[in-house]
Amino acid sequence: MDFKGLSLAAIKDNFKDSNIEDINDEVIEILLNDERKNVKTFGNTLKNKKDKHNEALKKMHLMYSFDLSYGKDLVICGVDEVGRGPLAGPIVGAAVIVDYTNRNLLGVRDSKKLTEEKREELSEIIKKEAIAYCIYEISEKDIDSKGIGYCNNEVLFRSYKGLNKKVDLVLSDGYPVKYIDTDNRFVVKGDDKSIAIACASILAKVYRDNLMKKYSEKYPYYGFEHNAGYGTKDHIEGIKQYGPCDIHRRSFIKNFI
């Protein structure tokens, strides 16, 4: 393609309906070699987008391959939880059965490495594309009465059981899940290696973060809308000034009241 007779606006117009994966590397190279600085800058923008897309595509294929290395004919479920450490709110677990013939999970990775906007976007894609998923929460009151260790395991077990699907293998992040009635393999840093665990991580985090935002409207003194119940400075100051609210874990805040 020859862009020499076109203005930058006209060049950009050529690409306005193009997906980044469809833009040819040779075309980007032409833009980068253009004598005009603003056209080079646009070429660099496209190159960076293409590089990020290719990186995400490579990561997705690696995560798919990791799961399928256990057996291509297995029904695989990934489980993960969020909310083990906060001072307030429930612990939330999620289980996801990924359709490995579907390659629409571009960008999925450990939920902590994603922006809030990207997590929200991917959460909807995962729900749409998954063979099955389940999100399960255990309240702060149960955490106080039964202990976080018990509740951590239980939320993973219950999310798995909530799938109501036959599962051949459960992949969990970091440690095994007690009472699982099928094969269970635990994966160190699993939410960065397994697509199924990463999907579960995203669903659990988006669900819990949104729940804590709703709680912030009812309990406005603790910053739940931005700290999700974790022990940030403003959260602890809120406890000291206003006392605990109904969703605080009394067993976690003994030093602050």
Instruction: Summarize the annotated binding site for a divalent metal cation as residue ranges.
Output: 80-81, 173
Report angle CA 27, 29, 30 to the nearest 5 degrees: 65
Distance CA 91, CA 81 (A): 7
| Continuous segment of H or E residues that includes residue 164 | none
- Per the annotation, binding residues are 80-81, 173
CB 208 within 8 A of CB 228: yes
Residue 220 is encoded by which pair of tokens? 């406005």
CA 34/CA 204 separation, integer angstroms: 47
Q: Are 205 and 94 in contact (CB under 8 A)?
A: no
Name the nearest CA neighbour of 166 among 132, 196, 197, 190.
Answer: 132
Gyration radius from the chain CA atoms: 23
Phi (first) and psi of residue 248, to 5 degrees:
-75, 145
The 3-state DSSP class for residue 170 equals strand
Is the CB of residue 77 less than 8 Å from the CB of residue 198? no
Would you give the distance in Å from CA 28 to the centre of its chain? 31
